[in-house]
Every structure is written in C-alpha cells, then in structure tokens.
Structure 1
C-alpha cells in the first residue's frame, strides 16, 4: 500500500506540473518567498504539489512499516473515508484512487 501511495504522489506531481508548471515557474521567478499568497491560482498549484510530496513521504514511511507488519485496519477506514468525502466533493479527481488502497489494507490486515 505504501508503494501505491508513493506512486500516487508521483502521479500527483506529474499532473500538477503538467497543468500548473507555468504557475510554479512564476512563483520561483518571483523569488518564492511570499510569492504564493498573491493569487488563488498560485495557492492551488502550490498545495497540489505539496500534497504530492506528502503522499511520497507517507508512502515511503508506510512501505517501510509494511515490511515489519500489516497496516492497522483503522488505516483502511481512514483511507476509505478520505476517498468518499473527497471524491463526492470533487467527483472528477484522484480521490477515488484511495478506494483500492483501502481495500488492500483491509485484505492484508485479515492475514
């Protein structure tokens, strides 16, 4: 599951840079410090890219933990809740990718 989350983060970065790369470059060109809060569009791109990095960090940590033991079943419930709440709020989104991750946590926690 951790590996799936890591690669979801990579995908998030690819999509974010594909759609918002020009805006990310504007932020850097404007000196980065204090350059995000000047527009809603910049904030959206910034947080989209930060979310991808957080997924990669979390994915690596979870993959390391999974080598020792299965993730707790509760983790699957949190993922499922995130997928449903996020997916219902933004139906055309990647939130739905968390459903198979939750299913994997549930399947592995039974062993």
Structure 2
C-alpha cells in the first residue's frame, strides 16, 4: 500500500527548472501566480501550474481550464484590442532588456 488508501490514484506532475513536466512524487502541490495577474471568474487551474507575472486570463470556450503553465506571451489580453492597450508589462523576465535605457529593468528597482 502507498499510504493513500487508494483515494488518489497517482502523483501529479509539475514543471522542472527546464520547463519539462516531471513527476514530483506528491498528490498535492501548490501553484504559483506572478505579480500583477488578472484571473477571471470561472477559471480552473490545475495543481502545480505557474502563471507568469502580468498575465490576464479570461474564462472562455477556448480556455477555461488551465492544464499547463501560462507565459506572458499567452496572456488573454492580447486577444482584446482594448485590453491590449490598457495592460502594460510591469514585471518583465530578468533576461529582458529595457530598450529605453539598455539596462536590465530589474537593475532599476
């Protein structure tokens, strides 16, 4: 017996440091939601998923259940002309440069 009493049949998978899914040996694992995210009502997010900073998610027929990590480039605000103009990136990745100052934006904080 695995100590779970057969209630949960298997362990979950989560992204490793290389972005590949791997078994984590646990039946429950929390996810991570970045800064400045907007998640609409009705969204279902699977355990162990990561939502990058500045992501907007709308519940829609195309996407209501989040089964994998969501990167900024996949944010739903890009699908709306109005939202695309209103939502600005506040927390870029460390390797993204600020074109105005040619510095890493993190160095300015």
Normalising by the residue count of structure 1, what TM-score does the alignment of the two structures yield?
Answer: 0.24
RCO (CA 8 Å, sep 6+): is it higher in 1 or 2? 1
Greater C-alpha Rg: 2
Tell me which protein shows more helix as a share of its residues: 1
Q: Which has the higher strand share?
A: 2
TM-score by length of 2: 0.24
